[in-house]
Amino acid sequence: MKNITESKSGSKKELERKKLFSDAFKYLDKVYEPNLRNILKRCYQCGRCSGVCQVSKVQKFTPSKIIQLILEGFEDRVIESGVLWDCLTCNQCLKDCPEQINFADLVRMARYKMRHEADQNPSEMVAHKGIYTTISELMSRPYIEPDRNLDWIPKECKITDKGDTLYYVGCIPYFNFEFENLDNIASSTLKIMCQLEEEPIVVFKEESCCGHDLYWGQGKIKTFIKLAMKNIEMFEKAGISTIVTACAECYRTFKIDYPNIFDDFNEKFKVKHLIEYVYEKWKQNKIAFKNPNEDDKVIPFTYHDPCRLSRFLPNDNNITEKVREIFKEFKKLGYEFNEMLHNKENSLCCGVSSWMNCNEKTKALRYKRMLEAKEAGEIMVTSCPKCNIHLSCIQNDFENIASIKIMDFSEFLVDHIEVIKDEDNLEGKV
């Protein structure tokens, strides 16, 4: 990363950035409620949250009891116990709550209090010694600009630093320090997009993290706001109007969390996951799906719904249906799409959220998910790079699930897309 230090001290850019970040904390009240009891007043203790909680299947963790303690005035006891660091924030409980109480939001705010009021630091619970969340935190500083490697960009794809459509890559380039082939997600996504866009696609060499993991996992809400402001400033200067991402967490962050803080975000930017991008182009008759393989063998495959693309989205967001509509087309191409036992809003979590709680207990959740995948097909497609990482990791521990091929949505689709030229469209209309 480039550290802009004394050489630019007193410059106009530095003064602008100082003002920008001095205003950051005024947004805190939009996403933080200091009295946790106010979030829970509608709860009538039906206990459904505890019944469906995925963490409770592998350890003692009872959301309804935690809620009861807070409602009865024992919030300090809950905060001091540190128990809420164990939550996966998978939102399974919200899906089944008759009063739509968002326990994940409660946990997010409680973690802020646990860090700032109880002086707790969950560093021992953060996977990979916290390197990835540390990188994200460094990016939030106003004078640090990442200097990312762009070797993953396909030679045939033209990119620019200013334009209408941005491919927001996310933190994939940093994951390559430990995890193999994740650049395929980025290169596959860009290959798909550059075939369909007339103008070069914006890709930032100095792109910053969206802040998802700090916001949901670390309780660092202020740092998240700083990252959001830094990203929005970059988007505006580049003239962006459409943001496309292949990451479920980045999508949720831009689609829901940024607009919760900045009222005009949705007016300035249209956010699409790659699933929506491909779906729209397909429905506009700009692409068709083809089979590049000559093998006549029928290949069974399945799809893992990430939490952030199912339970973390409003009910009127139908991205889970759109991806299945695409997959049903693949029956014509020699594939057989099969659902896992738990799917869509009932999908099981990959067991690790925001790099938190990668341990022996949550490995049991990952193993169970992979057993479901094995029953459904030879390939498991997902649309979250982190789910890809966590579920691939458990394959190293168990030989009986090692044969399942885990692919990102972009990797699965890239060789199956055929661009329909304008003259082809005209011929079809005659």
Over the stretch 329-381, which tens digit does the pLDDT of each residue have?
Answer: 999 999 999 999 999 999 999 999 999 999 999 999 999 999 999 999 999 99
Q: Is the pLDDT of residue 405 over 80?
A: yes
Residue 225 scores a pLDDT above 90:
yes
Q: How confident is the model at residue 144 (pLDDT cuts 50, 70, 90)?
A: confident
Span 172-199, average pLDDT? 93
Query: What pLDDT does residue 406 have?
Result: 98
Domain boundaries, the chain: 36-116, 128-280, 284-419
How confident is the model over 40-97, as pLDDT tens digits?
999 999 999 999 999 999 999 999 999 999 999 999 999 999 999 999 999 999 999 9
Distance, CA of 47 to CA of 221 (rounded, Å): 29
**pLDDT digits 0-9 by tens, 268-278:** 999 999 999 99
Cβ distance 98 to 68 under 8 Å? no
Q: Find the mean pLDDT for residues 156-173.
A: 96
Confidence of residue 11 (pLDDT cuts 50, 70, 90): low
Model confidence band, residue 176 (pLDDT cutoffs 50, 70, 90):
confident
pTM > 0.75: yes or no: yes
pLDDT for the residue numbered 177? 80
CATH 1.10.3470 fits 128-280, yes or no: no
Q: Does pLDDT of 161 surpass 90?
A: yes
Q: Output the pLDDT for position 4.
A: 40
Q: What is the pLDDT of residue 411?
A: 97
Domains 128-280 and 284-419 share a fold: yes
Between the alpha carbon of residue 96 and those of residues 8, 93, 311, 384, the distances in Å are 53, 5, 10, 23
- Per-residue confidence band for 7, with pLDDT thresholds at 50, 70 and 90: very low
Pick the CATH number of 284-419 from 1.10.510, 1.10.3470, 3.40.50, 1.10.10: 3.40.50
What per-residue confidence (pLDDT) applies to 25?
Answer: 74
